[in-house]
Structure 1
Amino acid sequence: MTRILLLGGTGDALRIARHLTPRDVYSLAGLGKVPDDLPCAVRVGGFGGSEGLQRYIEEKAIGLVIDATHPYAARISANAVQAARSAGVACWALRRPAWQPQAGDDWRMVDDWNELTAALAPFRRPLFTLGREPLTHLDEIPAHQFWFVRCLDAHADTARARILAARGPFTLEGERALFALQAFDVLVSKNSGGGATEAKLQVARERGLPVVMLRRPPLPAADREFASTADLLATLRLSN
């Protein structure tokens, strides 16, 4: 059977990992919880760019690379495609469909942090759901703003920000309660897609709140791309 290297760190990747075998490898960057109940081996840490990943593929006799990383992990995805191509093995990718604005949505699309902060200038109480990036900008909070930052990391609150350490999936009822309690006036989000964190968009729609949405980075074309975990797993079962 083909030995698989699964590049993960997402809920989708974890679901795929539960269908692997003891000879396969699930690779994590080391950010967040490391699962200890999987049937496959778990590797934590980087590879050293595409060349390091290529060496790992060749040394471990990997026959298939599966990229199930976050849609915003563009560098990892590029390294996966390049390393697999150089090693002469296939690279499959899970490309989760992006969310699409619905009737009543007020999305303000931005490409980087500078555009994001400019779009936030009129607001006072933003909820950031971008992961840990806002933590590096806590000393830049404008005098008229108080930030709420939801991410995996536990981090001390500051005089100008509250850090909400939480891991999805998030329920609609829970999001409604959070938005009502904290009275956010704008939501800041990546267009991650999937259902685990989508409830926040419905609550923003219900409350008439704008969403400052960070556009997805371009991702390289893999040998095969899948829009759902179920499709990828079905193909994997047929191929093995």
Structure 2
Amino acid sequence: MLGGTGEARALAQALADTGRYEVLLSLAGRTEKPSDQPVPFRIGGFGGADGLAAFLLDGRFDLLIDATHPFAMRISANASEAVAAIGVPAFALRRREWVAVPGDRWTNAWTVTEAIEKLGPSPRRVLLAIGRQEAHRAEVAPQHFYLVRSVDPVEPPLVLPDVQFVLDRGPYDVEREVSLLRNHRIDAVVTKNSGGSATYAKIEAARRLGIEVIMVARGPAAAMQTVATVEEMLAAIDHLFPPAMNRGV
């Protein structure tokens, strides 16, 4: 299983609890202190699609599950290419996207760079909640104040005149998010449409305060059968490997 999300951890726990599967969880290693995992895991890449295909063959794996972050498009593309080349079954676990509701002030963007551009030329106070990998893209618009939130420190440090950092990991609470936005006088939130409940509180808080959210849309979906929840994934796996087969994955 390609993991790194809360859903991946929950799925790994559910599969382990059945006693029917041998699960190896693979983490990309982008988080310095990953959460504890309920199954054996490895950290690091594979060397592209060919390397992943070789790893799956060498390990005699019967199934690949892509439960990476919805914006981890490179590893998802490699996974799709690898399983297509060697004929290993595969599923993708993708939480549903957030959808704007009455009261939301969303401005849509296709990339983080476009989202920064849509802040406009006048100075604003921005919560930048896109993770650390692309935080440097804010450097093209140094006129804004940025409150940058990430799980791990942004490296190298951002070259910006007015920036503060918050190291935190979801799930987040709505009331705390409201306080965060108010205390820093935030008037725009830049985030990715990751979906799920763990980080949705900032969206609700922005709605409550009438703050604009510049929402970066997801890219193309993985080219494999996709389900949205852990429960749906368990059902799909049971259908592929009925309990009577009693074989390991």
TM-score normalized by the length of structure 2: 0.86
Partners of 2:166 and 2:47 in 1: CA distance: 32
Runs of 4+ in structure 1 off by over 6 angstroms are none
Q: Which residue identity is paired with 2:90?
A: C
SS at match of 1:109: strand
Greater CA deviation, 152-161 or 204-213? 152-161
SS at match of 2:194: coil
SS at match of 2:226: strand
Deviation, structure 1 residue 160: 1.4
Instruction: Rate the CA distance shift 1:59–1:134 in 2: closer, same or farther, 3 A.
Output: closer
Match among 203, 206, 210 for residue 204 of structure 1: 206
Instruction: Rate the CA distance shift 1:42–1:201 in 2: closer, same or farther, 3 A.
Output: same
Partners of 2:173 and 2:35 in 1: CA distance: 23
Match among 3, 10, 14 for residue 5 of structure 2: 10
Instruction: Rate the CA distance shift 1:37–1:70 in 2: closer, same or farther, 3 A.
Output: closer
State the partner residue of 1:164.
166
Q: Does 1:50 align with 2:52?
A: no
The correspondence of residues 16-27 of structure 1 with structure 2, limited to 5 A, is 16-21=11-16, 23-27=22-26
Partners of 2:25 and 2:199 in 1: CA distance: 23
Partners of 2:184 and 2:58 in 1: CA distance: 52
8 Å contact from structure 1 (residues 47, 56) kept in 2: yes
SS at match of 1:154: coil
Q: What is the Cα-based RMSD across aligned positions, in Å? A: 2.0
Q: Which residue identity is paired with 1:47?
A: F
Alignment gaps of 5+ in structure 2: 244-249
Alignment gaps of 5+ in structure 1: 1-5
State the partner residue of 1:130.
130
TM-score normalized by the length of structure 1: 0.89
8 Å contact from structure 1 (residues 134, 149) kept in 2: no
Partners of 1:153 and 1:34 in 2: CA distance: 10
State the partner residue of 2:99.
100
Deviation, structure 1 residue 113: 3.4
Partners of 1:129 and 1:84 in 2: CA distance: 33
SS at match of 1:176: helix
Instruction: Rate the CA distance shift 1:64–1:134 in 2: closer, same or farther, 3 A.
Output: closer
SS at match of 1:195: coil
Q: Does 1:91 align with 2:90?
A: yes
Deviation, structure 1 residue 234: 3.4
